[in-house]
């Protein structure tokens, strides 16, 4: 006869093992997805943003546009820069 506490402990251990295996498979899938994404970036097949600029260039362009808007708002408000 197997005691009730042993059955509960073995069921809990089995549940933890199943969750660990499922989590590990999900993690490996996510890593392979990111690897493929990085391969596309290095191969140059990533969709470009507005006018052929890559992701890094688009960030620089956005920062430049924000700076220009800030200056224009200051001019409109009558503040000397």
The reported pTM is 0.48
What is the C-alpha separation between 7 and 12, in angstroms, rounded?
A: 9
State whether residue 49 is helix, strand or coil.
strand
37-81 confidence digits (pLDDT tens): 888 877 766 555 555 556 667 778 888 899 999 999 888 888 765
Assess contact for 46 and 55: CB atoms under 8 A.
yes
Neighbours of 47 (CB within 10 A): 7
Residue ranges in 1-81 assigned as alpha helix (H): 4-43, 55-77
What is the C-alpha separation between 8 and 30, in angstroms, rounded?
A: 33
Average pLDDT for 2-24? 95
């Amino acid at each position: 006869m197997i005691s009730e506490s042993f059955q509960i402990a073995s069921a809990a251990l089995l549940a933890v093992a199943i969750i660990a295996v499922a989590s590990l498979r999900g993690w490996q899938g996510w890593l392979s997805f990111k690897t493929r994404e990085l391969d596309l970036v290095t191969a140059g097949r990533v969709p470009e943003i507005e006018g052929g600029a890559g992701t890094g260039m688009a960030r620089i362009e956005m920062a430049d546009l924000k700076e220009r808007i800030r200056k224009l708002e200051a001019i409109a408000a009558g503040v000397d820069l």
